[in-house]
Each structure stands twice: as C-alpha cells, then as structure tokens.
C-alpha cells in the first residue's frame, strides 16, 4: 500500500462548479498536510498548508483534514478555467523537507 494515494483523474467539470479533490494516507502519525498546484510543464506551487484536523480556507480554496479516516480534501468554489492543472497532495515525513507526494489529480475546468 502506498503511503499517499490519489486518484489521477482526469476530473472534468464545468466552469463555476464546486470541485472536490481527495487523498488518503496510511500513517496515522502524519500531522501536516499540503496541497500543491502544478500547471503543465511547470513546477509545483504551494496552495495550502494545514495542521492536524479541521478546515482551512483561503479565498476560493478550502482544505479539509479528517484524521479519523486518514482522508484529506481540497475544495475549489466557483471553479475557473485557469484552475485547470494537476493538484498534488504532499505530507511531510519526520523532516519538513522530505515530502511524500500523491501522484496528482488532473483537473479540467470546461468554459
């Protein structure tokens, strides 16, 4: 079993829809959770960084952690074509620079 699992998609939704992107993880000791966005042929950029359980909101983006289910989610409200990208979840191991990454979900927002 991989330490972090993520559905590769692609996930295609119409503009304006609410998008839900998810990852599951296996190690209950993980405390920090990160979401990155990666445009085609670009490097990943950090979107959200959350600690433990609960929700964190930043503009149209909400990150949610459910530690009891080992499930993390990223919601995008009022999705835009410019949100079309691959979204990767990442979890720091013991150090804060060794990240375990999901394979990424490719998101397509149709105008």
Partner 1 sequence: NAGVMQNPRHLVRRRGQEARLRCSPMKGHSHVYWYRQLPEEGLKFMVYLQKENIIDESGMPKERFSAEFPKEGPSILRIQQVVRGDSAAYFCASSPGQGLGYTEAFFGQGTRLTVV
Interface positions with partner 1 (CB under 8 A): 4, 6, 8, 32, 34, 41-46, 49, 88, 90, 92, 95-104
- For the bound state, the minimum distance from the C-beta of residue 16 to partner 1, rounded and expressed in Å, comes to 28
- For the bound state, the minimum distance from the C-beta of residue 14 to partner 1, rounded and expressed in Å, comes to 26
Of 88 and 109, nearer to partner 1 (C-beta) is 88
CB of 62 closer than 8 Å to CB of 78? no
Of 11 and 99, nearer to partner 1 (C-beta) is 99
Q: 10: cis peptide before it, omega within 30°?
A: yes
Of 17 and 61, nearer to partner 1 (C-beta) is 61
- For the bound state, the minimum distance from the C-beta of residue 7 to partner 1, rounded and expressed in Å, comes to 12
- For the bound state, the minimum distance from the C-beta of residue 42 to partner 1, rounded and expressed in Å, comes to 5
Signed CA dihedral, 31, 56, 23, 61: sign only: negative
Strand partners, 12: 108
Q: Where are the beta strands (DSSP E) in 4-84?
A: 4-6, 11-14, 19-25, 32-38, 45-51, 54-58, 61-66, 71-76
């Amino acid at each position: 079993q991989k330490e972090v699992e993520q559905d590769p998609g692609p996930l295609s939704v119409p503009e304006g829809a609410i998008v839900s992107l998810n990852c599951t993880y296996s190690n209950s000791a993980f405390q920090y959770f990160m979401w990155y966005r990666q445009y085609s042929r670009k490097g990943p950029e950090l979107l959200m960084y959350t600690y433990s359980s609960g929700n964190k909101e930043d503009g149209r983006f909400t990150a949610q952690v459910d530690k009891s289910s080992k499930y993390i989610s990223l919601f995008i409200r009022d999705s835009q074509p410019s949100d079309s990208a691959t979204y990767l979840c990442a979890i720091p191991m013991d150090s804060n620079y060794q990240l375990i990454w999901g394979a990424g979900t490719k998101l397509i927002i149709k105008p």
